[in-house]
């Protein structure tokens, strides 16, 4: 099985930078995903990491350390529309050869003016 931990809620100010952490335990790591989900809407893909290091995509960056079971999502120049839930998901390769994604409970980010 897997255990994925991320903070339940974070608050930040418009224009600032926020880092959302995600720690995980898995036996067959095969990639880590970040999704954004606004209230009442479906999740949208933000990033994918399978190798250690930083992946940058505009205002959003995602970092992965496989040895530490740790990832973070960095949001720069925060905007009000960034208020949403951010889901960390780890894909695990099982002994049976299946690829199973497991999601964290999500971090609710509230951006204040």
Partner 1 sequence: KAGVTQTPRYLIKTRGQQVTLSCSPISGHRSVSWYQQTPGQGLQFLFEYFSETQRNKGNFPGRFSGRQFSNSRSEMNVSTLELGDSALYLCASSPGLAGEPPKETQYFGPGTRLLVL
Q: Which residue ranges make up the site for partner 1 (CB under 8 A)?
A: 30-31, 41-45, 48, 50, 87, 89, 91, 93, 98-106
- The DSSP string of 15-72 is T--EEEEEEEE-SSEEEEEEEEE-TTS--EEEEEE-SSEEEEETTEEEEEETTTTEEE
Least distance in Å: CB of 105 to partner 1?
Answer: 5
Q: Which of 53, 7, 10, 57 lies closest to 32, judged by CA?
A: 53
Least distance in Å: CB of 70 to partner 1?
Answer: 20
- Closer of 35 and 72 to partner 1 (Cβ): 35
- Closer of 69 and 106 to partner 1 (Cβ): 106
- Closer of 76 and 93 to partner 1 (Cβ): 93
Least distance in Å: CB of 18 to partner 1?
Answer: 21
Least distance in Å: CB of 20 to partner 1?
Answer: 15
Alpha carbons 39 and 70: distance in angstroms, whole number: 26
Q: Is 82 helix (H, G, I), strand (E, B) or coil?
A: helix
């Amino acid at each position: 099985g897997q255990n994925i931990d991320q903070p339940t809620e974070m608050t930040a100010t418009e224009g600032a930078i926020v880092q959302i952490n995600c720690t995980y335990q898995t036996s067959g790591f095969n990639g880590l995903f970040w999704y954004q989900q606004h209230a009442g809407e479906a999740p949208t893909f933000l990033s994918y990491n399978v190798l250690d290091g930083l992946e940058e995509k505009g205002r959003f960056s995602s970092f992965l350390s496989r040895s530490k079971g740790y990832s973070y999502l960095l949001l720069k120049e925060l905007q009000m529309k960034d208020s949403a839930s951010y889901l960390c998901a780890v894909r695990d390769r099982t002994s049976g050869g299946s690829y199973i994604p497991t999601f964290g409970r999500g971090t609710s980010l509230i951006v204040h003016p």
